[in-house]
Structure 1
Amino acid sequence: MKPRHLQMIAVGGSIGTGLFIGSGQALRNGGPAGILIAWAIIGVMLINVTQALGEMCILYPVSGGFYTLAVRFLDPGMGMALGWNYFAQWAVVLPLEITAAGITVQYWEGAQQVPIAAWITIFWFAIIAINVFGTLGYAEEEFWSSCLKLAVVVIFIIIGIVLNVGGGKGLYSEYVGGRYWQDPGAFANGFKGVCAVFVTAAFSFAGTELVGLAATETPNPRKTLPSAVKNTFWRITLIYMTSLCIIGLNLPFNQERLLGGSDGAGTSPFVIMANLAGLNGLDHLINITICISVLSIGLSCVYAGSRVLTAMAETGFAPKVFTYVDKSGRPLWSVILVLMFGPIAYVNVVSAGDTVFNWLLALSGLSTLFTWGSICMCHIRFRKAWRVQGHHVDELPYRAIGGVVGSWIGFILVCLVLIANFYIAIFPLGGAPEDPGARAEAFFLSYLAAPVFLAFWLGCFLIKRTTPLKAHQIDLDTGRKAWFTAEEMNQYRAERRAAPFYIRMYRILFSS
Structure 2
Amino acid sequence: MAAMEMSEVKKEKFSDDSPKYDHVKKPFWRRYIDSFKPMEESHGPVSGNYKPGDSEKEPLPGGHGPELKRTLKNRHIQMIAFGGAIGTGLFIGSGGVLANGGPASLLIGFILIGTMLFNVVMALGELAVLYPIAGSFSIYSSRFIDPAWGFAMGWNYALQWLVVLPLELTAAAITIKYWTKDIDVGVWITVFLLIVIFINFFGVKGYGEAEFVFSMIKILAVCGFIVLGIVIDVGGGPAQRETHEYLGAKTWSNPGAFNNGFQGFCAVFVTAAFAFGGTEMVGLAAAESENPRKSLPKATKQVFWRISIFYIVTLLLVGLIVPYNHPRLLGSHFDQANNADSDKSAAAPQNKTVEAPSGHDATASPFVIAIDIAGIKILPSIFNGVILVSVMSVGNSAVYGSSRTLCAMARTGQAPRFLGYIDREGRPLFAIILALVLGGLAYISESASSDLVFGWLLAISGLSTIFTWMSICWAHLRFRRAWRVQGHTLDELPFRAAFGVIGSWWGVIFNVLILLAQFYVAVKPIGETATAESFFNAYLAAPIVLVFYIFWKLLKKTPFMVAGKGNPDGFFKTETIDLVTGRRELDLDRILAKERAAHANLPAWRRFYHSLCG
| TM-score (structure 1 length as normaliser) | 0.95
Counterpart code for 1:82: M
Structure 2 Cα separation of the partners of residues 112 and 102 of structure 1: 11
Q: Which runs of 4+ in 1 moved over 6 A?
A: 485-488, 500-503
Q: Which of the residues 218, 224, 232 maps onto 2:303?
A: 232
1:463 equivalent to 2:555? Answer: yes
2:486: which partner in 1? 389
Is the counterpart of residue 215 in structure 1 residue 286 in structure 2? yes
Residues in 1 aligned to 2:557 and 2:360: alpha-carbon distance in whole angstroms:
46
Distance 1:477 1:446 in 2: 41
| 2:496 aligned partner | 399
Question: Tell me, what secondary structure is at the counterpart of 1:300?
Answer: helix
| AA partner of residue 55 (structure 1) | E
Q: CA deviation at 1:494?
A: 2.1
Q: Tell me, in whole angstroms, the C-alpha distance in 1 between the residues paired with 2:548 and 2:384.
A: 38
Is 1:444 the counterpart of 2:536 in the alignment? yes
What corresponds to 1:361 in structure 2? 458
Q: 1:169 deviation in Å?
A: 2.2
Letter in 2 for 1:455: V
* Structure 2: 5+ residue stretches without partners: 1-71, 337-357, 560-570
- Give the corresponding residue for 2:576: 473
2:69 is matched with none
Q: Paired residue for 1:144, among 193, 203, 213?
A: 213
CA gap 1:263/1:229 in 2 versus in 1, 3 angstroms: closer
In structure 2, the partner of 1:168 is 237
> Would the aligned equivalents of 1:199 and 1:366 in 2 still touch at CA under 8 Å?
yes
Distance 1:462 1:507, change over 3 A: same
Whether 1:432 and 2:503 are equivalent positions in the alignment is no
C-alpha separation in 2, matches of 1:485 and 1:329: 28
- Contact 1:397/1:482, CA 8 A, preserved across alignment: no
Secondary structure of residue in 2 paired with 1:20: helix
Q: Report the equivalent of 2:546.
A: 454
What corresponds to 1:436 in structure 2?
none
Give the corresponding residue for 1:135: 204
CA contact (8 A) 2:240 2:246 kept: no
Query: Is residue 59 from structure 1 mapped to residue 130 from structure 2 by the alignment?
Result: yes
Highest CA radius of gyration, 1 or 2? Answer: 2
For 1:292, what is the secondary structure of its paired residue?
A: helix
CA contact (8 A) 2:226 2:314 kept: yes
- Structure 1 position 488, deviation (Å): 7.0
User: Cα distance, 1:431 vs. partner?
Assistant: 3.8
> Does the C-alpha gap of structure 1 residues 463 and 377 become closer, same or farther in structure 2, counting only changes over 3 Å?
same
Task: Write the letter of the residue equivalent to 2:327.
Answer: E
Q: Residue 11 of structure 1 contacts residue 228 of structure 1 at CA under 8 Å; is this kept in 2? A: yes
The answer to whether structure 1 residue 83 and structure 2 residue 150 are counterparts is no
3-state secondary structure, aligned to 1:472: coil
Structure 1 equivalent of residue 362 of structure 2: 265
Which whole-Å CA distance do the structure 2 matches of 1:495 and 1:356 have between them?
A: 56
CA distance in 2, matches of 1:482, 1:510: 26
CA shift for structure 1 position 499:
4.6
What letter corresponds to residue 136 of structure 1 in structure 2? K
Report the more deviating stretch, 236-245 or 344-353.
344-353
Q: How does 1:33-432 map to 2 (within 5 A)?
A: 33-106=104-177, 108-109=178-179, 111-171=180-240, 173-258=244-329, 259=332, 262=359, 264-432=361-529
Q: 1:383 to 1:263 in 2, by over 3 A?
A: closer
Long gaps (5+) in structure 1: 434-438
Which amino acid counterpart does residue 541 of structure 2 have in structure 1? A
State the Cα distance separating 1:465 from its structure 2 match: 2.7
Question: Which of residues 71, 74, 86 in structure 2 aligns to 1:3?
Answer: 74
State the distance in 1 between where 2:513 and 2:602 align. Answer: 42
Percent sequence identity over aligned pairs: 51
In the TM superposition, residue 195 of structure 1 has moved relative to its aligned partner by 0.6
Q: In structure 2, how many angstroms separate the alpha carbons of the residues matched to 1:263 and 1:146?
A: 19
Deviation sequence 1:196-231 (CA, Å, 0-9, x none): 121110000111111111011111111000110001
The whole-number CA distance in structure 1 between the counterparts of 2:247 and 2:402 is 45
Selected match of 2:85 from 14, 24, 47: 14
Amino acid at match of 1:237: S
Q: Is the 8 A contact 1:426 1:432 kept in 2?
A: no
Choose between structure 1 and 2: higher helix proportion: 1
Q: Which sits farther off after the overlay, 464-473 or 192-201?
A: 464-473
How far is 1:509 from its partner?
Answer: 4.5
Report if the CA contact (8 A) 2:171-2:361 is conserved.
yes
Contact 2:92 2:362 survives alignment (8 Å): yes
By how many angstroms is 1:312 displaced?
A: 0.4
Deviations 1:329-385 (A, max 9, x none): 101001001111111111111221011101000000000000000000000000010
Q: Which residue identity is paired with 2:468?
A: T
Q: Work out the number of aligned pairs and report it.
A: 504
CA apart distance, 1:241: 0.5
Give distance in 2, aligned partners of 1:485 and 1:233: 27
Contact 1:426 1:443 in 2 (8 A): yes
RMSD (Å), alpha carbons: 1.7
- C-alpha distance in 2, partners of 1:186/1:338? 42
Deviation at 1:487, TM superposition (A): 8.5
Question: Is contact 1:392–1:486 with CA below 8 Å preserved after alignment?
Answer: no
Q: Which residue identity does 2:130 align to in structure 1?
A: L
**1:123-171 deviation line (CA, Å, top 9, x unaligned):** 1111111112110111001001101001001111101101101111225
Amino acid at match of 1:471: T
Deviates more, 1:225-234 or 1:266-275: 266-275
TM-fit CA distance, 1:507: 3.1
Counterpart CA distance in 1 for 2:481 and 2:558 is 20
Question: Matches of 1:430 and 1:367 in 2, distance apart?
Answer: 25
**Aligned-residue offset at 1:318:** 1.0
Give the corresponding residue for 1:497.
600
CA 1:89–1:492: 2 relative to 1, 3 Å:
same
Distance 1:390 1:502, change over 3 A: closer
Instruction: Report the secondary structure of 1:473's partner residue.
Output: coil
Deviation at 1:408, TM superposition (A): 0.5
Equivalent AA in structure 1 for residue 572 of structure 2: L
SS in 2 for 1:25: helix
Residue 235 of structure 2 aligns with an amino acid whose one-letter code is G
How many Å separate the matches in 2 of 1:503 and 1:193?
Answer: 40
Give the AA of the match of 1:307. Answer: R
Aligned equivalent of 2:19: none
